């Protein structure tokens, strides 16, 4: 072969290497099907067809990257049990796993603990204990962990937080309906990247809020049905990035606590459903200019209290159901032109009042009729 031909071949190889095919390595967030874009180069590996078949027979749903490799597996509400999880170890690109409402137990978590690339793990409704938390404490890439004791099957408690505290990449942690208190939260102090924590119907109290205030990156905090009081809410002022706060169904929070909440000016979402608030408490929220979503359902709000919502110029959702408001109070909402969804169910508001407000807010969906759980 001539020296000139050698040079042309060498230049072609160098050009291919420099341009590469990096685009094919990006993972898609949508389910890949026959019509999806495929990478130009053949994948370096493929998932075992037998594994996919066995998981499919269990009822699994998948998401794949552009090379056709499985990145997410959902076995929600299937008959999957501990032995079935062995198949997952053969999926080398698996980053997300949902095992909600399956027959998986502590024994199966030993296998899950070997899935070192997992970033998202959902175990709600599984029959697991603190032993399972020990089994997965080595998943250092895990960014989201979801547990729940609502079904009564999950018995993770404060002791389990010692293991969860080792998952230092966690950004989101769901612990609703579990026996978690200040003691357990102290063991989460190493989670420096934590942005969301869900603690509904736990043993959380004012002392617990002091512990949570030491997580400066927290953006979302769910504290419904806990034992926090007006005094404890002052601890939340340390959370300078907090945008989403759920205080619903807290029986010992009152208007006094809104003095603190009204100073968290970063808030965009606030849930005060079934909190003992009156117009005086709502007045203290008037300065929350970034508010996008506000639930005042089942409070003691009246027409007078609606005046304090007039400056929430970015609000898109407002729930005023089961309050004492009337048609007369709706005039205070006429300037909320960003409002997309307004609920005035089970109030003294009439169809005539809704019609009048609708003329001022033609793009707002106003719900007057109560639809039960459907709403």
125 lies in the same domain as 177? yes
194 lies in the same domain as 249? no
Q: 268 in a domain, yes or no?
A: yes
Burial category of 275 from C-beta neighbours within 10 Å (exposed 0-12, middle 13-18, buried 19 and up): buried
pLDDT tens-digit profile of 203-235? 999 999 999 999 999 999 999 999 999 999 999
Count of other CB atoms within 10 angstroms of residue 260? 17
User: What is the residue-averaged pLDDT of the chain?
Assistant: 90
Spatial contact of 164 and 145, defined as CB atoms under 8 Å apart: yes
Q: 198 in a domain, yes or no?
A: yes
58 lies in the same domain as 199? yes
245 lies in the same domain as 197? no
Q: 211 in a domain, yes or no?
A: no
Per-residue confidence (pLDDT) for residue 33, from 0 to 100: 35
Q: 17 in a domain, yes or no?
A: no
Per-residue confidence (pLDDT) for residue 48, from 0 to 100: 86
51 lies in the same domain as 171? yes
Q: 293 in a domain, yes or no?
A: yes
Report whether pLDDT(304) > 90. Answer: yes
Q: 301 in a domain, yes or no?
A: yes
65 lies in the same domain as 191? yes
pLDDT tens-digit profile of 109-130? 999 999 999 999 999 999 999 9
Domain extent, residue 307, equals 241-375
Spatial contact of 339 and 316, defined as CB atoms under 8 Å apart: yes
- Please state the length of the chain: 375
Map residue 64 onto helix, strand or coil. Answer: strand
81 lies in the same domain as 199? yes
Domain's final residue, options 203, 232, 263: 203
Report pTM: 0.86
What CATH number is given to the structural domain containing 296?
3.80.10.10
Pairing of strands 61-64, 70-74: antiparallel
Q: 257 in a domain, yes or no?
A: yes
195 lies in the same domain as 56? yes
pLDDT tens-digit profile of 309-341? 999 999 999 999 999 999 999 999 999 999 999
The answer for residues whose C-beta is within 8 angstroms of residue 322's C-beta and 6 or more apart is: 297, 298, 345, 346, 347
197 lies in the same domain as 256? no
Report whether pLDDT(168) > 70. Answer: yes
Per-residue confidence (pLDDT) for residue 67, from 0 to 100: 92
Domain count of the fold of the chain: 2
Report whether pLDDT(238) > 60. Answer: yes
80 lies in the same domain as 130? yes
139 lies in the same domain as 248? no
197 lies in the same domain as 267? no
Q: 218 in a domain, yes or no?
A: no
């Amino acid at each position: 072969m001539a020296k000139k031909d050698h040079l042309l071949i060498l230049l072609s190889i160098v050009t291919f290497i420099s341009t590469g095919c990096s685009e094919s390595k990006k993972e898609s967030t949508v389910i890949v099907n026959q019509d999806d874009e495929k990478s130009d180069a053949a994948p370096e590996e493929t998932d075992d067809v037998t594994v996919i078949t066995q998981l499919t027979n269990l009822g699994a749903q998948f998401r794949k990257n552009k090379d056709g490799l499985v990145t997410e597996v959902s076995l929600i509400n299937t008959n999957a049990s501990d032995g079935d999880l062995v198949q997952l170890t053969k999926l080398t690109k698996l980053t997300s796993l949902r095992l909600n409402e399956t027959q998986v137990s502590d024994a199966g978590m030993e296998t899950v603990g070997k899935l070192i690339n997992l970033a998202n793990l959902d175990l709600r409704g599984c029959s697991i204990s603190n032993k399972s938390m020990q089994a997965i404490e080595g998943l250092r890439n895990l960014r989201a962990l979801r547990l729940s004791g609502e079904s009564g099957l999950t018995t993770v408690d404060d002791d389990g937080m010692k293991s969860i505290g080792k998952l230092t990449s966690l950004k989101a942690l769901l612990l609703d309906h579990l026996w978690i208190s200040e003691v357990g939260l102290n063991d989460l102090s190493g989670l420096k990247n934590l942005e969301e924590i869900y603690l509904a119907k736990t043993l959380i109290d004012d002392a617990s809020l002091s512990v949570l205030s030491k997580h400066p990156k927290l953006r979302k905090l769910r504290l419904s049905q806990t034992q926090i009081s007006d005094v404890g809410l002052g601890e939340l002022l340390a959370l300078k990035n907090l945008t989403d706060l759920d205080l619903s169904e807290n029986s010992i929070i009152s208007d006094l606590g809104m003095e603190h909440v009204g100073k968290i000016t970063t808030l965009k979402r606030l849930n005060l459903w079934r909190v003992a608030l009156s117009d005086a408490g709502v007045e203290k929220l008037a300065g929350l200019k970034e508010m996008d979503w506000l639930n005042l359902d089942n409070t003691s709000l009246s027409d007078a209290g609606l005046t304090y919502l007039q400056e929430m110029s970015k609000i898109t959702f407002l729930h005023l159901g089961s309050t004492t408001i009337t048609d007369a109070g709706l005039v205070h909402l006429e300037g909320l032109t960003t409002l997309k969804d307004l609920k005035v169910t089970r109030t003294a508001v009439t169809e005539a009042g809704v019609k009048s407000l609708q003329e001022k807010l033609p793009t707002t969906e106003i719900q007057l009729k109560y639809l039960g759980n459907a709403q």
